């Protein structure tokens, strides 16, 4: 019987060494979670029969270090959750490795070509669609006509009314200052909206406008209080800019909120419009809430979807498979899907990867302990063998 007991010890230690060896081999594997072999004693009735591997424990709840990569499509998970991927057979696989890219068809995929699952979003919307394969539009983003502009600045309090009247854009002596704002029509073509500021009274400045050099009929009077703050207009000023060739009629609302009149010098702090030209896709990056941000050549960024994260009632019961991934089991329970930072799922760290959580020092200590146990069990077998030989010689 002692032969069988020692042999069970050798087999159990060999299984432990396999686990330790696998942990050490994956010390540099992104998203890897170390495992531990747990032994259990065995009996035949009341007769001890040795040891067996009772269970395997995974350290899924222990996070690895975070390695900053600076790559826009790399991400690590802060806390619970797994990235959800789908292979070519349609099988869901779960991983902590956030190395993503977009393939030639616009699908967001991981480093093994599996399609990343998430929630699509229509451009300009915050409403999430049903979970499925995440895609990034590969075509051009359409142009958007300007609808509002914003000007914030300080109109010099020491300006004096121009000596030359009436206002003439061609004569710099008839105005005190000017500012050009670029606006876009429905085709994405750029146009110049120019403001000419004319001091017309105490604490009062009148703005004249031109569109692509042509005078507009609209003028605006800006009134300021004795504290230098704008008192009128209280609402944005509607400016009808006309109809550019081939485009729709263009009009914008000019907002002067925040403009002041102080001594010192005339300054501009905001001169912006909301329109833009069409653009082509230049890159994709992730944010901490899982948003997949498409970047375009016109400087625009659009969220086209959010990555899904899965959590499980018993994560340690997940079954590890190749490519640093897991699949579900009866004991793990069904996955619960969230977007990063919601429910039980952690946020993402963009531009970073989770490193292996293997503690190399602990693994080496465990290996030395396993080696001693292995040697002790082999010593039992050799001792039993010597006893049997002595017994046979004595017969």
The rounded percent of the chain whose pLDDT value lies above 90 is 87
The confidence score (pLDDT) of residue 383 equals 81
pLDDT for 254 equals 97
CA distance 252 to 239: 5
Alpha-carbon distance of 323 to 227, in angstroms, equals 67
Cα–Cα separations (whole angstroms), residue 374 to 78, 196, 385:
39, 90, 17
- The pair of structure tokens assigned to 82 is 């797994």
Nearest to 316 by CA among 29, 37, 22, 59: 59
CB 219 within 8 A of CB 208: yes
Q: Does 142 have pLDDT greater than 90?
A: no
Fold of 148-273: Tick-borne Encephalitis virus Glycoprotein; domain 1 (2.60.98)
Query: Can you list the alpha helix ranges (DSSP code H) found in the chain?
Result: 2-25, 360-394
Tens-place pLDDT, residues 147-192: 999 999 999 999 999 999 999 999 999 999 999 999 999 999 999 9
Q: 3-class SS at 379? A: helix
Helix orientation angle between 2-25 and 360-394, rounded to the nearest 10 degrees: 160
pLDDT digits (tens, 9 = 90+) for 27-68: 999 999 999 999 999 999 999 999 999 999 999 999 999 999
pLDDT computed for residue 33 by the predictor: 97
Residue 128 DSSP code: B
pTM over 0.85: no
Burial degree of 33 (CB within 10 A; 0-12, 13-18, 19+):
buried
When the pLDDT of each residue in the chain is averaged and rounded to a whole number, the result is 94
For the segment 358-384, the average pLDDT, to the nearest whole number, is 92
3-class SS of residue 281: strand
CB neighbourhood size of 174 (10 A) = 17
Each residue of 211-245: pLDDT tens digit?
999 999 999 999 999 999 999 999 999 999 999 99
SS3 380: helix
Rounded distance between C-alpha atoms, residue 24 and residue 388, angstroms: 40
Residue 1 has pLDDT above 70, yes or no: no
> Domain boundaries in the chain?
2-61+356-394, 68-134+280-353, 148-273
Q: Convert 238-256 to b/e letters by CB count within 10 Å (16 or more is b).
A: ebebeebeebeebbbebbb
How confident is the model at residue 320, as a pLDDT?
96
- Mean pLDDT to the nearest integer, 333-361: 96
What's the confidence (pLDDT) of residue 305? 95
Tell me the two tokens of residue 329: 């089991």
The reported pLDDT for the residue numbered 123 is 73
pLDDT for residue 395:
62
pLDDT at 153: 96
User: How buried is residue 13: exposed, middle or buried, by Cβ count under 10 Å (0-12/13-18/19+)?
Assistant: buried
What's the mean pLDDT in 67-94? 96
Length of the chain: 395
How much is the pLDDT for 149?
A: 97
Decide: 85 and 133 in contact? Cβ < 8 Å. no
The SS3 call for residue 106 is: coil
Residue 315: count other Cβ atoms within 10 Å of its Cβ. Answer: 19
| Residue 124, pLDDT above cutoff 80 | no
Dihedral sign of CA atoms 17, 18, 23, 25 in order: positive
Sequence-ordered list of residues with C-beta below 8 angstroms from that of 168, at least 6 positions apart, any chain:
174
- Residues in Cβ contact with 325 at an 8 Å cutoff, skipping those fewer than 6 apart: 85, 93, 94, 95, 97
185 HSE (CA, 13 A, CB side): 18
Q: Burial of 145 by CB count in 10 Å (0-12 exposed, 13-18 middle, 19+ buried)?
A: buried
How large is the average pLDDT for residues 143-147?
A: 95
Q: Under a CB-based contact definition with an 8 Å cutoff, are residues 42 and 336 in contact?
A: no
């Amino acid at each position: 019987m002692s032969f069988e007991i020692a042999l069970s010890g050798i087999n159990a230690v060999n299984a432990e060494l396999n686990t330790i060896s696998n942990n050490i081999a994956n010390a540099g594997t992104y998203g890897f979670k170390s495992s531990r072999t747990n032994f259990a004693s065995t009996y035949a009735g009341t007769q001890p029969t040795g040891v067996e591997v009772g269970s395997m424990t995974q350290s899924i709840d222990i996070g690895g270090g975070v390695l900053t990569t600076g790559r826009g499509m790399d991400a690590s998970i802060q806390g619970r959750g797994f990235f959800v991927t789908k292979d070519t057979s349609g099988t869901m696989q779960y991983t902590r490795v956030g190395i993503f890219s977009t393939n030639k068809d616009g699908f967001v995929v991981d480093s093994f070509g599996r399609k990343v699952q998430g929630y699509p979003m229509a451009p300009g919307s915050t409403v999430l669609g049903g979970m499925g394969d995440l895609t990034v539009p590969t075509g051009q983003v359409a142009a958007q006509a300007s609808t509002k502009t914003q000007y914030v600045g300080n109109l010099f309090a020491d300006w004096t009314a121009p000596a030359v009247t009436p206002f003439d854009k061609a004569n710099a002596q008839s105005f005190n200052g000017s500012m050009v704002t670029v606006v876009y029509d429905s085709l994405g073509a750029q146009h110049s909206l120019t403001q000419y500021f004319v001091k017309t009274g105490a604490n009062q400045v009148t703005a004249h406008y031109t569109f692509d050099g042509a005078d507009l009929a609209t003028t605006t009077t800006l009134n300021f209080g004795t504290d230098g703050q704008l008192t009128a207009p209280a609402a944005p000023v509607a400016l009808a800019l006309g109809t550019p060739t081939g485009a729709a009629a263009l009009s914008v609302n000019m907002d002067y909120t925040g403009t002041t009149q102080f001594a010192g010098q005339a300054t501009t702090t905001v001169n912006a419009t909301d329109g833009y030209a069409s653009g082509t896709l230049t890159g994709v990056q992730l944010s901490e809430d899982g948003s997949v941000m498409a970047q375009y050549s016109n400087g625009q960024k659009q969220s086209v979807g959010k990555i899904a994260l899965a959590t499980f009632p018993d994560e340690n019961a997940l079954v590890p498979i190749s490519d640093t991934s897991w699949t579900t089991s009866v004991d793990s329970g069904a996955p619960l899907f969230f977007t990063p930072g919601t429910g039980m799922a952690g946020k993402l760290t963009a531009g970073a990867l989770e490193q292996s959580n293997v503690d190399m020092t602990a693994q080496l200590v465990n290996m030395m302990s396993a080696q001693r146990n292995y040697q002790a069990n082999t010593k039992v077998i050799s001792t039993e063998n010597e006893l049997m030989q002595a017994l046979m010689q004595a017969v």
